[in-house]
Every structure is written in structure tokens, then in C-alpha cells.
Amino acid sequence: MGKGIGIVRILSNDLPTQEDGWVEISAYVKRKHIPYLTALQTVNEKVLTNKKAKPEARAREMRKLDEFLASFVYAWDWKDPDGNPYPQPDTYEVLGELRQEEWAWLQGKANEIMAQEQGIPKQNETP
């Protein structure tokens, strides 16, 4: 797969399970993605960590997050715990195979890139 315009390659050497890998994430944010960016910021506290939330609600929200995140992940060179390459992230279902720390790392990096594209400073930066 060739690199497209707005594709950013990030080394995952700060992720212990994927030290030798990399991920390519699209920095191109479409207007239709804006509501999802807001949802990403609030879904964790509203549903995923809410002990009163029903399992069906958690599963539904995780699927939405995976679908959104998968739309930004262009390619990667990551391996599963047995050392086999993960399938390329062509569909959101592939994200379900990731370990929790890998998913959280990927979400964090995608958020950083999308925020930079939108001109939003990092939490510890001033505008």
C-alpha cells in the first residue's frame, strides 16, 4: 500500500508489546468526523468506566469507537502475542484482536494527530 496524502507514520517503540512496529494514521479529518471526536472524549467516562452501564451499551460504544478509529488507521506493522502479524486494519473487527494497551495507545496517537490537524493544542500546551 502506498502512502497517501496526510498519512503519518508513527513508530510504536514506546509501546512495550510493539517496540519494533509502526502505525500509519490519517491526519485528514473530515467534517463528518467532528461529532466522533467529541464522543471519543466523553465515551470512556459515560459508558466504559461506568459500573452501572449495561454490557450491551458498553459493547455498542466500543463498536462505534472501533469503527471510527479504524477509519483513520491506514496500515501497521504489529504482531500478535505469538509473533504473527496482525491483519491490516481494513475493518473495525481487527481492532478487537488488539490487547487493551495497544488499543489505548492507538486511540491516543490518533487523537493527537486529529487534534493537531484541527489546531487543538495538547493538554499541557498553551494555544
pLDDT at position 40 is 64
Residue 38 binned pLDDT confidence (cut-offs 50, 70, 90) = low
Of the chain, the percentage scoring pLDDT greater than 70 comes to 72
pLDDT at position 45 is 61
Cα of first residue to Cα of last residue in the chain, in angstroms, is: 36
pLDDT at position 51 is 72
pTM of the model: 0.74
pLDDT at position 82 is 92
β 73-76/7-11 pair status: unpaired
Ranked by mean pLDDT, the top range of 3-7, 31-35, 71-75 is 71-75
Average of pLDDT values for 24-40? 73
Whether the pLDDT of residue 120 is over 60: the answer is: no
> Which residues, including other chains, have CB under 8 Å from residue 73's CB and lie 6 or more apart?
23, 24, 25, 26, 89, 95, 106, 110
- Domain boundaries, given as residue ranges, for the chain: 7-118
Whether the pLDDT of residue 5 is over 70: the answer is: no
Of the chain, the percentage scoring pLDDT greater than 90 comes to 27
Put residue 88 in one of left, alpha, beta given phi > 0 → left and psi -120 to 50 → alpha.
beta
Residue 1 binned pLDDT confidence (cut-offs 50, 70, 90) = very low
Compute how many other C-beta atoms are within 10 angstroms of the C-beta atom of residue 89. 25
